Structure 1
Amino acid sequence: MKLISTGIKWLDEILDGGIYRGNSIIIEGPPGSGKTIFGLQFIYQGNKPAIYISSKETEKTIVNYGKSFKWKLAGAIKQKKLFVISDYEKVLKSILSFKGSYLEKIIHDKGVRNIVIDDINKLFEVFKDDISPHSISVFLKISD
């Protein structure tokens, strides 16, 4: 299987080159521990079409996070390499009925290779009775 970089050199070294394509990775930690920054760095350093799904941050906030690291996220958005989606309810409904959905269109039409969901706890909160861990796994691996 092909390895892809996490975007963090020292972490890739620990992981013997990165993470395996198609794997779903969950980053856990308290508020302020760097989960959002890790996700953004993974997307930015990956330099592949990507979707960043946020339950609380707007596109503008995401771009500002990137500026503090000199990441040109606004340029990536303009070039259609990065899609920031903050309409969480729309996204969650797309996950439940992926075929023919809003997300499927972006993933297939734009060749999206990487997806970050920030924060997955919100996903369970909003649809606790309608979604299963298997549904999330299928969604996270769809870009493989």
Structure 2
Amino acid sequence: MKHEIFSIAGTAKEVADGMARAFFMSAFAAAYEEADGTSPLKAQIGSMAGRNLADVLPAPVDPAAHHAAFTLACDLRTKNDATDLAALFEKAQDFYAGEGDQELTPDNFGFALAMEAMGAMGTGLDDAFGMAVAAAVLVPHCEFGSHSLEIDYFG
């Protein structure tokens, strides 16, 4: 893999994996919605009503989602004057007061970072971990959608 962040075990990798998963999940959901009824994969998946998107995501994560996570990691380090994603996670832990609707884990943190960067409502740092964490960690905006995926899953 060309982005070293995904090959070294530890907290930074877990955060980066969470970011890549969020980018992929969001873009795949958009591609699913945009696909017409003749797509073999859309026919195989069927209706998403009452289903968890994570249960139908193909493996592995699209390479473009890893690239987006790497780019966001670089921007996050710069914007927050952090040495790496592990240091940024430690900063979030310092401000975490048990608020929000998720446990603060590296994977959940990475997922929320990417969702907030994409502007997804209800899935950012404040909803996941509380306003103190959201105020402490500066998240740059980025675009990542179905057009960003490297693989055409529904073509």
For the criterion TM > 0.5, the same-fold answer is no
Higher relative contact order (CA 8 A, sep 6+): 2
Q: TM-score range by the shorter chain?
A: under 0.3
When normalised by structure 2's length, the TM-score is 0.25
Which has the larger helix fraction?
2
- Determine which structure has more spread, i.e. the larger CA radius of gyration: 2
Q: Please state which structure has a larger fraction of its residues in strand.
A: 1
